Amino acid sequence: MTRQPLVARRAEELLGTSVVSTAPVAGGDIATATRLRLSNGQMALMKTVAHAPDGFFEAEAAGLRWLAEVPGGVPIPEVLAGSDDCVILVWVEPTAKHQPEAAAGFGQALATTHQAGAATYGAARDGFIGRLPLPNKPCDTWPEFYAVRRVLPYLKLARDRGAVTDGEAATIEAVIGRLPDLVPDEAPSRLHGDLWNGNCLWGVDGAVHVIDPAAYGGHREADLAMLHLFGLPHLPRVVQAYHEAAPLADGWEERLGVHQLFPLLVHACMFGGGYAARAAAIAARYA
């Protein structure tokens, strides 16, 4: 057994129990993840980030706890401790077996989480998407929130970073005025906010757990659009179970691109490449 003294000591300070051993966990582009074996036999996951932005881990812990409030909702790892420099969660033992039954259960649970709702479009505090700040100041309508808190801030940042051309930006901006006509009116749903394959953890317990949220109140099609953008094993089973539990409004598949503009622009800001061009190509279908 190995033990990283600095990591173990910090975990012990927060948990009030001894750490028997530590082991690095592969994966994750932002945080350093370490598996902890505690003296009480429990396994935990500790995440740290060098020079984390102020409030980074507090926002993650708050989002996890908010999502976990929903009985029968998507399984969420319990937050054991959170601080300005790390967060510690109950360990979820992963499996490489992606069973269709687990996908169906995930779809039904996601519908339950969404249906739990939110007080407003937005959240009481700002958050993060990756390492980027995520503005969450509430708005009265989803089209307004999606425009001024999701699409436009990241379009501006992408322009500032030279990741989008003027022509691409104009094409994306043209969709903003059409949002009230494109997206059906629904009450705010309780969203994960960064729901892609990498944040869906298939467990040996036969359930799909979600991690690393950017949680807020928004339109439920935004979570589904992100799942479709980056893919998920047995996604048709997920959607079928979701639709059976909470039927989606007609035309939702044709609207997926509208809600994919935000994650594509986030990726353009972080990675450049062809993400902005892809967002513009999608936007052109709705302009």
Q: What is the CATH number of the domain that holds 211?
A: 3.90.1200.10
Query: Considering the entire predicted model, what is its pTM?
Result: 0.95
Domain edge (last residue) among 90, 121, 149: 90
User: In this structure, is residue 133 part of a structural domain?
Assistant: yes
Q: What is the pLDDT of residue 4?
A: 85
Output DSSP code: residue 41: S
User: In this structure, is residue 158 part of a structural domain?
Assistant: yes
Residue 59 sits in the same domain as residue 154: no
Cβ(216)–Cβ(139) below 8 Å: no
| Structure token pair of residue 266 | 């986030």
Task: Provide the residue range defining the domain that includes 248.
Answer: 100-284
Write the DSSP string, 94-160: B-S---HHHHHHHHHHHHHHHHT--SSBB-SS-EEETTEEE----BSSHHHHIIIIIIHHHHHHHHH
CA end-to-end distance (rounded Å), the chain? 59
User: In this structure, is residue 117 part of a structural domain?
Assistant: yes
Residue 124 sits in the same domain as residue 50: no
Count of structural domains within the chain = 2
Residue 142 sits in the same domain as residue 83: no
User: In this structure, is residue 178 part of a structural domain?
Assistant: yes
* Separation of alpha carbons 281 and 267, rounded Å: 15
**Would you please indicate which residues are annotated as catalytic (active-site) residues?**
194
User: In this structure, is residue 67 part of a structural domain?
Assistant: yes
Nearest to 164 by CA among 247, 61, 271, 84: 271
CA angle 191/192/195 to nearest 5° reads 120
User: In this structure, is residue 57 part of a structural domain?
Assistant: yes
> Domain containing 46 — which CATH number?
3.30.200.20
Residue 16 sits in the same domain as residue 45: yes
User: In this structure, is residue 95 part of a structural domain?
Assistant: no
* Separation of alpha carbons 37 and 35, rounded Å: 7
Residue 188 sits in the same domain as residue 261: yes
Per-residue pLDDT tens, the chain, 287 aa: give them.
577 889 999 999 999 999 999 999 987 678 899 999 999 999 999 999 888 899 999 999 999 999 999 999 999 999 999 999 999 999 999 999 999 999 999 999 999 999 999 999 999 999 999 999 999 999 999 999 999 999 999 999 999 999 999 999 999 999 999 999 999 999 999 999 999 999 999 999 999 999 999 999 999 999 999 999 999 999 999 999 999 999 999 999 999 999 999 999 999 999 998 999 999 999 999 97
SS3 252: coil
Q: What is the pLDDT of residue 28?
A: 66
Instruction: Let me know if 109 is exposed, middle or buried by CB neighbors in 10 A (0-12, 13-18, 19+).
Output: buried
Nearest to 57 by CA among 17, 22, 86: 86
User: In this structure, is residue 218 part of a structural domain?
Assistant: yes
Residue 57 sits in the same domain as residue 104: no
Residue 116 sits in the same domain as residue 165: yes
Containing 171, the helix (H) or strand (E) segment is: helix 166-176
Residue type, 166: D
Residue 191 sits in the same domain as residue 63: no
Q: What is the pLDDT of residue 248?
A: 97
Q: What is the pLDDT of residue 1?
A: 58
Residue 83 sits in the same domain as residue 108: no
* Separation of alpha carbons 22 and 36, rounded Å: 5
Residue 122 sits in the same domain as residue 43: no
Cβ(74)–Cβ(67) below 8 Å: yes
Residue 84 sits in the same domain as residue 104: no
CA distances from 103 to 86, 186, 197 (A): 30, 25, 12
Residue 166 sits in the same domain as residue 251: yes
